[in-house]
Amino acid sequence: MKKIGVINGPISEVIAKMGHYDMLMLGDAGLPIPPGVRRIDLALCQGVPSFIQTLRVVLSELKLQSVVVASEMQEVSPELYKKTLNELDGVEVELVSHEELKAMSQKAVAVIRTGEFTPYANIILKSGVVF
């Protein structure tokens, strides 16, 4: 049994295989996931697990270069946007339209579906390097 870190096998595997600038997406319960993109479905019920809980766990192992967030999140869900920025600890944030974010998801190595019901609770995490 894994002793520390992410104990979800598929998430741990995806993070371990990521290279510089590879993209991993975290999505709310309603995010459409493109055919052919790996789906890691964590959603149990409304709010479980939450977007922030999932982001926090993934960030405990993934080195970030930058992130992409829909500009609609900032406008429609400002409290969640603020919490998201707090978790990112100064990492560069690119704002795009929700439609652009969904189009970018086609290039993600995987999409992790959460139980989040807050509108626009979606983020693309671009992998950095640790050296």
Binding residues for substrate: 28, 98, 120-122
Of 97, 39, 42, 53, nearest to 73 by C-alpha is 97
Q: Determine the residue type at 126.
A: K
Annotated binding site: 28, 98, 120-122
Q: For the residues of 58-124, what is the DSSP string, one character each?
A: HHTTPPEEEEEEEHHHHHH-HHHHHHHHHHHTT-EEEEE-HHHHHHHGGG-SEEEE----STT--EE
Annotated catalytic, 54?
no
> Of the listed 7, 9, 20, 106, which one is catalytic?
20
**Phi, psi at 40, each rounded to 5°:** -115, 100
Q: In angstroms, rounded to a whole number, what is the distance separating the alpha carbons of residues 84 and 29?
A: 17
Which residues carry out catalysis? 20
